[in-house]
Amino acid sequence: MKMPTAAFKKSRDALNRIGDRRVWSIIVTISGDLAQEPNERISGSLVSRLTNLLDIKPEAARVALHRWRKRVGLSVKNLGAKAPTN
């Protein structure tokens, strides 16, 4: 993955200064932008990488996804563990 640009870091830092980010809302926005068709899926690893770039703690992302799944029926499909690549 490419390193974030200076413009991205500036925008991220501005969002972080606002405080009290709604992780659930950020993940919903990411999902809506990336999976626009009804059957499109987003991998958990992609969500993890994107939320990490936004300085969202992994546990906050997990809680947000759990709440989303519980409240609106987010579909989760376990595709199994991926083998590490060398």
pLDDT (tens digit per residue) in 26-60 = 888 888 898 888 888 888 888 889 899 988 999 99
Cα separation, 79 vs 73, in Å, equals 18
Half-sphere exposure of 41 (CA within 13 A, CB side): 8
Residue 9 lies in a domain: no
Closest residue by Cα to residue 30 from 48, 9, 7, 47: 47
Alpha-helix residue ranges (DSSP H) falling in 1-86:
6-18, 23-34, 44-53, 58-72
- 85, pLDDT greater than 70: no
Cα separation, 50 vs 34, in Å, equals 11
Residue 52 lies in a domain: yes
Residue 17 lies in a domain: no
Residue 8 lies in a domain: no
Domain that holds residue 50: 23-31+41-72
Say how many domains are in the chain: 1
Residue 86 lies in a domain: no
pTM over 0.85: no
- Mean pLDDT, range 18-26, rounded to an integer: 82
